Amino acid sequence: MWMHNVAATVLMMPVANGIIRRMPPAHERSHAENQFCKAAVLSVVFGTAIGGTSTLTGTGVNLILAGMWKSLAPEATPISFNTWFFFGFPFSALMLLSCWCIVCFLYVRKDLCRTMSCYFDRSHLRGYLKDLGPMIFAEKMVLICFGLLITLWMTRKISDDIPGWGVLFHDLVGDGSVCIVVALLLFIIPDMKQEGEKLMDWEECKKLPWNLVLLLGAGFALADGVESSGRSSGQFITSNDATATLITPLLYHIARTMHVHPLLLMVPGAISTEFAYLLPTSTPSNVVGFSTGHIELRDMLMVGAPLKALGIALLSILMPTLGALVFGTNDHTQWITRTNSR
C-alpha cells in the first residue's frame, strides 16, 4: 500500500512462486494443490491492485486525480496524503476482505490445510528465516527512512482542528517536498559497505521508471488543455480505452453542471478505473500474474467479476457517507456559485 501497486506485484510474485515451487511439478499436483497455486497468484495480483487504492502514492491514478484536482480547482483544499488515506484505507480494507472471501470460496476447500501442511512445516519456515541472516546497516537505514517518510506524510496536516508540522512552514510544504527530502537522505547516508558509498547513487537512480513521471505530467497538461479549450463543457466522445487522465476533468465539469461537489464524481470515477480485474492485459499487474502460467483467463473472470461488482457497490455506499466526511462533498454551495458566475 505504501509503494506503487505494480512494483508491489513484481516484488511479491517471486515470493508466491517460491511457495509454489515447494510443491510437486504441475503434472504431479492434485486438484487441491493446483487450486492453491491459483489462489496464491490471484491473491498477489488482486491484493496489490486493491492495496494501491489505500494511499495516494499506491497507484498513478490517485496521483493523477490529486494533480488534476489542484489544477482544475486551485482555490479548493488539495487532496493530501492524509486526506486520501482516511478514505482509501477503509475502502481498500473492505475490498481486500471481499477478495479474500471470494478466493477462499472458489479455491480453498476444507481439506486444503491437511494437504498443504506437509509443504509448510514451521521448522522449514524457521530455517528459511534463519538463512536470511540479520538485517544489515543499509537495510535498517532504508527502513528508517521509509518509516520517516510515512510519519511525515501522516502528520503534515492531521485535521482541520489539529494542525500538523506543516503550519511551521505556513503550509507551503506539500507531500512532494517530503519525498524529496527523504530521497536526498538516501544520497547522504553511507551504506557502511565501502568507504564513500551511499545508500543510493545516481547509477541506481537512473533505473527508476521516469516514463511514469512523464506520463503523469502529460496527463496534467491534457487536463489543462481540456479546461482551457472549453471542450469539456460540450459533448465529448471517447474510446473504450479512455483513462482517468481524460475522465477526471470531464467528471469535474459534469459535477459543476449538476451543482454538486466535483469530488463526489471525480473520486469514484478515478477509483473505478482501477477495477481492471477481468483481463490479463488490463494492467501490468495482471500481466505479471498471468505470465506465471498458474492462472487462466477463466480464473481472472471468476474472481474479477464479483470483485468488480462489489467494488462498485462499496464506492456507491462509502462516497456519499465517508467521502462526505473526508472530502467535505456535502458543502457544494461554492460550486453552484462558481457555475452561475461562469
What percent of the chain shows pLDDT beyond 90? 16
Q: Of 148-152, 247-251, 288-292, 336-340, which range is least confident?
A: 336-340
Question: pLDDT, tens digit, for every residue of 144-172?
Answer: 998 888 888 778 776 556 677 877 887 67
CB atoms within 10 A of CB 267: 28
Question: pLDDT, tens digit, for every residue of 3-51?
Answer: 777 778 877 887 888 788 877 777 777 887 888 889 989 999 999 889 8
Coil, helix or strand at residue 170: coil
In contact, 7 and 14? CB cutoff 8 Å: no
pTM of the predicted protein model: 0.71
Report DSSP letters for 215-284, one per residue.
HHHHHHHHHHHHHHHTGGGS-----TT--HHHHHHHHHHHHHHTTS-THHHHHHHHHHTT---S-TTSSH
Query: Residue 322 has what pLDDT?
Result: 92
Residue type, 252: Y
Coil, helix or strand at residue 68: helix
Q: pLDDT: is 62 or 245 the higher one?
A: 62
Band (pLDDT 50/70/90 cuts) for residue 335 is: low
Query: Residue 97 has what pLDDT?
Result: 94
